[in-house]
Amino acid sequence: MKSICVIGSGYVGLVTATCFADLGNHVVTVDIDARKIDKLKQGIMPIYEPGLEELVERNVKAGRLHFTTSYDDGLAQAQYVFICVGTPSAVDGEADLKYVRAAAQTIAEHMRHPLIIINKSTVPVGTGDWTADIVKKSQPEPVDFAVVSCPEFLREGSAIGDFMSPDRTVLGSTDAAAAQKVAELYEPLKAPIVITDIRTAEMIKYASNAFLATRISFINEISIICERLGADVTEVARGMGYDKRIGPHFLQAGVGYGGSCFPKDVKALANMALTHGMHPQLLNAVMEINDFQRKQIVLKVRDLLGGSLEGKQVGLLGLAFKPNTDDVRDAPALTVARSLMNQGGKVRAYDPVAMETATAELKGLALLDNAYQVAEDADALVIMTDWNEFKQLDMKRIRASMKLPILVDGRNIYDPQVMHDLGFIYRGVGRGYNGEGLHD
């Protein structure tokens, strides 16, 4: 059994702490937010993540997982300390490291024995060296330590599975012995472990997310071309995906990427390139296409409503940036909702789990109890998140309750011909004929 301290009880920190505890380690999670810690002690989760609540409860009962606001308590027995704090984007896209700085300084002030400090937060290349300097300067008296970069690759909605069955673990450090000790923590997961220098490890995280975001923007640009030429992007992507060099992943055309990782990481990588005198042409294009994809949804709704949204009732199904999470950070649905309201539309919405988080982010949005209430007397209905719940709706009932039969499917979850046959004026993303007249 290893003794681990995790700084931060947000998405990455809580999942990391809980999963390490479930592997049999003693884990203490430290957070300066006393309210959050009190709720965790009561078994109330700060985030929605399938399976997490049950896993936390099991490990708390087993005495392996603890929560505190005290760095002294967290570091008392720790051999390893993971920094899992937020790194939000500044206006120019540069990652804001104030929380990492605060964590590093406080660790230094409270450490009384040698520690391995692991950066789990997504941080700019060079932050590992910067963290080491902060710890060294902030120590009241010298205590040995090493800094290791271990970027996270957790997908919201499947984070526990991703932690327990990772594609790989990436470790970077100038201290080979320290990196090897961290590798021992991950060995029970039976996945490849990549050990490299600290800056390369940090870059692997950014390059990975930027590449996935690029695939999404690529297929979304193809979807725009498909609409103009009368092709169906879902079939195009399927045909492409059979090629082993390409594969099917992240080729689902839709409303664009969102969440806490892709938008922030692509911006940060572009900012790093600019700061060092380069012109990140591809990264800029990825971001521009993603922004345009959200605008396209609004344009489709407006065009189908005769060119004006003034006074029109528009229903949104889905607020979270993806299914199986309540995260609405940079969610396409909120961007679309703001734009619709700014143009005079009356917007109401439903999401299975993200209603509370959406309320905190966007005022004036009417939230209803289910999809059928959202559709009632609506001039248009827009699918923004591909929750399974929405794939099983009674679409005849939906059609009958709407004022106008306009359906904009931002996730391509419905068959265009079936929707056309039900009487909808249907528009998907990149579906050239959209079901209209295919068999007339």
Question: DSSP label at 213?
Answer: H
Q: Which residues contact 354 (CB under 8 A, 6 or more apart)?
A: 48, 319, 320, 325, 326, 327, 328, 331, 385
Residue among 5, 19, 150, 261 flagged as catalytic: 261
For residue 130, count other CB atoms closer than 10 A to its CB: 17
CB 6 within 8 A of CB 82: yes
Question: DSSP label at 155?
Answer: P
Please give the Cα distance from 428 to 297 (Å, whole number). 9
Tell which residue, 115, 28, 107, has the closest CA to residue 64.
28
Length of the chain: 440
CB 296 within 8 A of CB 224: yes
Residues 318-347, buried b or exposed e (16+ Cβ, 10 A)? Answer: bbbbbbbbbbbbbbbbbbbbbbbbeeebbb
CB 364 within 8 A of CB 412: no
Planar angle of CA 159, 81, 35, nearest 5 degrees: 70
423 exposure class (CB count in 10 Å sphere: 0-12, 13-18, 19+): middle
19 catalytic residue (yes or no): no
Tell which residue, 330, 326, 342, 341, has the closest CA to residue 290.
330
**For residue 324, which amino acid is it?**
N
Question: DSSP label at 431?
Answer: B
Known catalytic residues are: 261
